[in-house]
Structure formats: structure tokens, C-alpha cells
Amino acid sequence: MLHIETIADLRSACDRARSDGRRVGLVPTMGFLHEGHRSLMRAARATCDFVVVTIFVNPLQFGAGEDLDRYPRDLTGDLAQCEQVGVAAVFAPSVAEMYPSGRPLTTVHVEGLTSDLCGAARPTHFDGVATVVTKLFAATGSCTAFFGRKDAQQLAVINRLVEDVNLPVQVVGCPIVREPDGLARSSRNAYLSLDQRRAALALSRALQAAASAAIAGERDPSALVDLVRGLVATEPTVALEYVEVRSAPELARVDVLDGEVLLAIAAKVGETRLIDNVTLTVRGAEVHADLGTTELRSEGVRQ
């Protein structure tokens, strides 16, 4: 496995792979890898011949007072995990390599999709995401890039970025990976105490209850939002930031459940900000609820 630290070496490695007829897969991460990341690597390996994992804690996507300095890092462990999965190369640059002049004068902004949901609480976050992802795409070149659906708004932003700028990248959204008890996998879960982790389960339980209500026939988005709010409120240490039902992938507000919609949630458990979601596909009386590792359907529950 190659351990690459410069953009020039990353570009050369990917160019060589393509010249040899190999398909390049890209898995961008901020490190401190877990099973969610490993599932992206496996998905990339299933369809691509040369898989690159990037590990970079991007300062541009952290706002003032956020957890940039304490964000969990374990490069040695991350490299071992990548090698175990069979990744061809890991790109782990320094901040100076990615931003040699300091904070860049050129950034990337995706209008509309970034103004609310997570963008309301983190107004500079998605510009930082779009900027670093554009740089990674530019360095990698033509590829298939794999992202988790837990970050649903991020996935929508990246898809629109690729479409608007005509980047030679195919974006693949991969299912949410959950802990056995339902908690969505996240590097930030490491911040949670045992009591906070138990309280955090209110998020996935509320989403599952809302999905079950939709399967039972509920089509009013506000009713699902009220259901989620009520269930989360039973955990006093969970501070709800938002619960929203939006169309997917446009993230527009909806008046009734129809087609593909996203029920998204963000909350703070202690000082830790967590996000989660469920995708509901509604076709008349038939509903499919995709929570990732657990799927609910109109005809019952399937694990």
C-alpha cells in the first residue's frame, strides 16, 4: 500500500493507474476510521481497481469554537485498517500541503443547498467541504468517489458540485452503518460518555418510530417531525438542533410524503453534535424506509 503525502505524488499514482487501464476509486475521510469508513472502502474495491483513501482533517470546514484541535486522530491505526481492507494508496497530506499559502483566497460555494439544515448552525462548513473535495477531485482526476449517506446534506452538495462544474467524477452514496444498538457510526461518538451514548440512541429510535409511522400510513411531514421531537425530548441531555423532512436530493421542503424524502435530524449530546437520517421512498401505499443497516418496508421489518 502506498502512503502518499503530496498532491503531486497522488496525481502521479492515479495517472499511472489509469494509464494501466485501472479504474480509480476515491474514499475521502477525516481519519479515525471505523466500520462506516471501511464499508466505503469495500464498496470502492468492489467496483474499482485502484482505491485511494484520503485522510485529512480539513480546517476549512470547522467554525470558530468547534472541535478542530480535539478531533480524534490515529494515523497509524488508520493506515493499518486501510491495508487490511486492501486499499492501494492512502493520501495523508499536511495542512501546509493542502493550503500552502494559508487560508485560500479561492473557495467553492454551492448556493441554496448549504443555507439551512446543518448550514444554519455551521455557516462556513459546506464551503470548506466543497473546497477541499474539489481539491481532492482535481488531484485524483477521473474517478468514482464514495461517500456515506449519513452526511446526507454533504452528499447532496457534492453531487451538485460535480454536476455544475462538470467534474470527471462519479459520486456513489453508500448506506449508513450503525452500531448493533442502532447508533449511527461516527468518529465523534468517541467523545460520548457511557451515559451520553445511551442518551444518543434517542435519535435513531425516533427516526425508526417515524419510519414506522410512515409505513403505517402517515403522510404529513409535520406529524413525523412532532413524533421525533416528542421522543427525543424524553432524553433531557439531548438538545435538538433540527428535525426536517426534505425532498431528496433537492432538499426542498415538502407538504406531503411522496417520492423520495429525507427525514434528517441534528442534536447535541453534551458538547457532541450528532446527525442522522432516514430516507423514505413513498409510492402510493407502499413505503420503503432506509435506515442503513436496518430497513423497514410496508410488509414488515427486515434486518
DSSP string, 243-274: EEEEETTT--B-SS--EEEEEEEEEEETTEEE
Whether 37 is catalytic is yes
75 assigned to some structural domain? yes
* pLDDT tens, residue by residue, 211-233: 999 999 999 999 999 999 999 99
pLDDT at 16 over 50: yes
* pLDDT tens, residue by residue, 249-303: 999 999 999 999 999 999 999 999 999 999 999 999 999 999 998 666 664 433 3
Number of domains in the chain: 2
- pLDDT attached to residue 203: 98
- pLDDT attached to residue 293: 81
Three-state secondary-structure class, residue 148 = strand
Which of 227-243 are b and which e, b meaning 16 or more Cβ less than 10 Å from the residue's Cβ?
Answer: bbeebbeebeebebbeb
CATH number at residue 118: 3.40.50.620
- What are the phi and psi torsion angles at 160 (to 5°)? -70, -40
302 assigned to some structural domain? no
Based on the fold, state whether residues 210 and 245 are members of the same structural domain: yes
Which of 103-136 are b and which e, b meaning 16 or more Cβ less than 10 Å from the residue's Cβ?
Answer: eeeeebebeebbeebbbeebebbbbbbbbbbbbb
pLDDT at 100 over 60: yes
105 assigned to some structural domain? yes
Nearest 5°: the CA angle 278, 284, 288 is 30
Q: Give residue 291's identity as a one-letter amino acid code.
A: L
Three-state secondary-structure class, residue 81 = helix
Based on the fold, state whether residues 143 and 13 are members of the same structural domain: yes
Based on the fold, state whether residues 164 and 202 are members of the same structural domain: no
Based on the fold, state whether residues 242 and 276 are members of the same structural domain: yes
301 assigned to some structural domain? no
Based on the fold, state whether residues 33 and 158 are members of the same structural domain: yes
Domain termination residue (choose one: 146, 174, 202): 174
In angstroms, rounded to a whole number, what is the distance separating the alpha carbons of residues 119 and 111?
11
Based on the fold, state whether residues 29 and 123 are members of the same structural domain: yes
179 assigned to some structural domain? no
pLDDT at 186 over 70: yes
* pLDDT tens, residue by residue, 156-173: 999 999 999 999 999 999
In percent, how much of the chain has pLDDT > 70?
97
If you ran DSSP here, which 8-state letter would residue 277 be given? E
pLDDT at 76 over 90: yes
Query: Who wins on pLDDT, 69 or 296?
Result: 69
24 assigned to some structural domain? yes
pLDDT at 34 over 90: yes
- Grid cell of 32 as nine digits: 479515525
- pLDDT attached to residue 303: 33
- pLDDT attached to residue 295: 61
Place of cell 434517542: 202
Based on the fold, state whether residues 36 and 160 are members of the same structural domain: yes
Based on the fold, state whether residues 8 and 157 are members of the same structural domain: yes
CATH number at residue 212: 3.30.1300.10
Based on the fold, state whether residues 202 and 279 are members of the same structural domain: yes
Do residues 288 and 280 lie in contact, with contact meaning Cβ atoms separated by under 8 Å? yes
Do residues 41 and 149 lie in contact, with contact meaning Cβ atoms separated by under 8 Å? no
182 assigned to some structural domain? no
Domain termination residue (choose one: 111, 143, 174): 174
Based on the fold, state whether residues 196 and 157 are members of the same structural domain: no
Nearest 5°: the CA angle 272, 198, 55 is 45
Mean pLDDT of the chain: 96
Alpha carbon 141 to chain centroid, angstroms: 21
Based on the fold, state whether residues 170 and 201 are members of the same structural domain: no
Of the listed 3, 37, 109, 288, which one is catalytic? 37
Domain termination residue (choose one: 174, 209, 227): 174
Query: Which domain, by its residues, includes 137?
Result: 2-174
Quote the pTM value.
0.95
216 assigned to some structural domain? yes
Based on the fold, state whether residues 166 and 288 are members of the same structural domain: no
SS3 content of the chain, % helix, strand, coil (to 5): 40, 25, 35
